[in-house]
Chain A
Amino acid sequence: KQEVTQIPAALSVPEGENLVLNCSFTDSAIYNLQWFRQDPGKGLTSLLLIQSSQREQTSGRLNASLDKSSGRSTLYIAASQPGDSATYLCAIHGSSNTGKLIFGQGTTLQVKP
């Protein structure tokens, strides 16, 4: 059974720092991997989707990498800002037919001014 883990559960950094969020999964035979952002009391906003054949995707200050052989993905945030404070979730597509996403429990990031 595929399991997705995100460590640490919470992270606090000063503004301007570059940081890395980690996501690991138990079964390397994955389809796509998606990173989301969730603000308190809000829905999920999709940040990046990495297809299983790709190694990384970039959007602005965000860069997500995927290493299937080691069962890991990382989300790199450059020059962090207070507005980046949120919970970041990674999710793996668990089925090519249903579109089912298997989520990690998230890392809550606080960027202090």
Chain B
Amino acid sequence: IAGITQAPTSQILAAGRRMTLRCTQDMRHNAMYWYRQDLGLGLRLIHYSNTAGTTGKGEVPDGYSVSRANTDDFPLTLASAVPSQTSVYFCASSDQPGLRLQFFGPGTRLTVL
């Protein structure tokens, strides 16, 4: 089934540890996005990539990094996790950048202790 997969489904992490959240899509979409969802704050954009080889900062990029080595994969890395990064992380994609329909993955629930 075509779509977006994310791994892991959930993770408990000690503060200070490094963590990479994986996102893969098989729709050959050019644009990909990472959002975090927090109670009371809704979903906020962390980073985005308009096409393979390019990335950009969203609304809340601090503490996170991304790479886009190819079309399908868009990993999100927390270099040194902090408790405020406890959240549900969603990866999304659209066929082209900009004002296009976005499709979301199932999410990764991350708890930083």
Q: Which residues of A contact B (CB under 8 A)?
A: 31-32, 34, 36, 42-46, 49, 51, 89, 91, 93, 95-101, 103-106
Contacts and interface: CB of A to CB of B under 8 A. Distances in A.
Contacts of A46: 101-104
A100 B99 contact: no
Nearest to A32: B99
Contact of A98 (B40, B56, B104): B56
Contacts, number: 70
Contacts of B4: 43
Interface of B: 4, 31, 33, 35, 40-45, 48, 50, 56, 58-59, 90, 92, 94, 97-107
A99 B107 contact: no
Contacts of B97: 97-99
B26 to A, nearest CB: 16
A100 B34 CA distance: 10
A81 to B, nearest CB: 23
B89 to A, nearest CB: 11
A109 B95 CA distance: 30
Contacts of A98: 45, 48, 50, 56, 58, 97-98
A103 to B, nearest CB: 4
A100 B58 contact: yes
15 contacts: A44-B92, A45-B104, A46-B101, A95-B98, A98-B48, A98-B50, A98-B58, A98-B97, A99-B94, A100-B33, A101-B33, A104-B42, A105-B40, A105-B41, A105-B42
